[in-house]
Structure 1
Amino acid sequence: MKATEVAAIDGAYLFEPTPYTDERGFFCRTFDADVVRSVGLDPDAFVQDSLSRSVRGVLRGLHLRSGAGEAKLVRCSYGRIFDVVVDLRPDSPTYLGRAFFELSGETQATLYVPAGCAHGFQALTDTADTSYRIDRPHDPAEDVTIAFDDPELAIPWPLPVTSMSQRDREAPSLAEVLKHEES
């Protein structure tokens, strides 16, 4: 497994496994504590795993947590997704930086999203299973959502949105979220 730093988002990493393939399919390690530790992250910090299944065109995000934030490892275990990270840490050298990835079940790459960054994705295939490993238990009272189509972010979502949650559909702009966080 190889860890690569994400230039556009300070502290973000892409973990790419080495799949072993044969006539049966493939096998690969999707999490390796030693590799995670080698880039300065604590592998024992992750306390909760979750899985979402989405259909083509579904958009989830942009989400983050208030307070201490939430670091996460994100992987598309089946299908393909267009994945987005936005750095919203005011003290970060990549503040307001954006990074886009295609994560897929073919590569099994895992993206580390640092706390304080917004995250979202769109399913590119008829079925896309996305797994999350987060560093603190989920508390809905800390959920923050930013409009996926905020012109300030200009995210190039690849497909028309076929479905999203009501919370995502009614999300405020980035400017509104930042103004609320400052007060």
Structure 2
Amino acid sequence: MQVHRTVIDGVLLFVPAPAVDRHGDATATFDASVARRHGVDPSRFLQDSQSRSTRGVVRGLHGRIGRGESKLVRCAHGAMHDVVVDARPSSPTFGRVAGFLLDDTDMRHLYIPAGCLHGFQALSETVDTCYRIDTPHEPTEDVAVRFDDPDLAVRWPLAAGTMSGRDRAAGSWSDLCGLLGVPAPERVCAVGW
């Protein structure tokens, strides 16, 4: 398994090496020793969750304040456009946006450290997204920023489909920066990984 650093400090892209034979293929979707070598403590993960979405659905941009939440995200079925926003004021990449293609072909997955916002859009008819999370859910720490916030300028591949009422009513990037007690960066740029 290869591990790539990304344009957001601490966000890692794990790229497995499937074994392919006449029966199909198989791959390790998580390897604790690889994670440890790259600074991710596998013993911290407490919960695995899965969501199912249909083409065009946008989920996010979600995050947590307080303790935060680190997670591993992968697409078990289908394809999705995954987005991470660095919302950690002390980070050298604060305000940076990165997009990733996660699918069931390459089986890549992301490690997203606590303090980042996360969201995705389903690109295939059905998308199953798996999350490995290191912190119990605490609803009072939940924050959300609109998927179409003009300061973040996330480039979603499809027109936005169905989304939750919570996501439609999410606040702005500027609002979140105010909650964090920091000025919003003058220019946030959407970039690749």
Rounded Cα–Cα distance in structure 2 between residues aligned with 1:23 and 1:62: 41
Correspondence 1:180 to 2:179: yes
> Residue 5 of structure 1 aligns with which residue?
5
Residues 3-55 of structure 1 deviation map (CA, whole Å, 9 limit, x = unaligned): 1111x110110111111122322100000000000011111111111000000
Unmatched 5+ residue regions in structure 2?
Answer: 183-193
**In the comparison of the two structures, how many residue pairs are matched?**
182
- State the AA in 2 paired with 1:178: C
Rounded Cα–Cα distance in structure 2 between residues aligned with 1:24 and 1:165: 40
**Identical aligned residues as a percent:** 53
- State the AA in 2 paired with 1:170: A
* Distance apart, 1:180 and its partner CA: 2.0
Of stretches 15-24 and 30-39 in structure 1, the one that deviates more from structure 2 is 15-24
TM-score by structure 1 length? 0.97
Residues 82-128 of structure 1 deviation map (CA, whole Å, 9 limit, x = unaligned): 00000011111111111110000111111001110000000000001
Of stretches 19-28 and 32-41 in structure 1, the one that deviates more from structure 2 is 19-28
Matches within 5 A, 1:35-54: 35-54=34-53
- Partner of 1:96, secondary structure, is coil
Rounded Cα–Cα distance in structure 2 between residues aligned with 1:87 and 1:171: 17
- State the AA in 2 paired with 1:50: S
- State the AA in 1 paired with 2:3: A
* Distance apart, 1:152 and its partner CA: 0.3
Rounded Cα–Cα distance in structure 2 between residues aligned with 1:94 and 1:24: 44
- Partner of 1:112, secondary structure, is strand
- Partner of 1:177, secondary structure, is helix
> Residue 29 of structure 2 aligns with which residue?
30
> Residue 106 of structure 2 aligns with which residue?
107
Rounded Cα–Cα distance in structure 2 between residues aligned with 1:109 and 1:88: 23
- State the AA in 1 paired with 2:66: G
Rounded Cα–Cα distance in structure 2 between residues aligned with 1:112 and 1:95: 17
- Partner of 1:156, secondary structure, is coil
> Residue 127 of structure 1 aligns with which residue?
126
> Residue 157 of structure 2 aligns with which residue?
158
- State the AA in 2 paired with 1:2: Q
> Residue 74 of structure 2 aligns with which residue?
75
Rounded Cα–Cα distance in structure 2 between residues aligned with 1:41 and 1:100: 21
What RMSD over aligned residues (CA atoms) do the two structures have, in Å? 1.1
> Residue 64 of structure 1 aligns with which residue?
63
- State the AA in 2 paired with 1:9: I
Rounded Cα–Cα distance in structure 2 between residues aligned with 1:22 and 1:138: 41
* Distance apart, 1:162 and its partner CA: 1.3
Rounded Cα–Cα distance in structure 1 between residues aligned with 2:168 and 2:91: 28
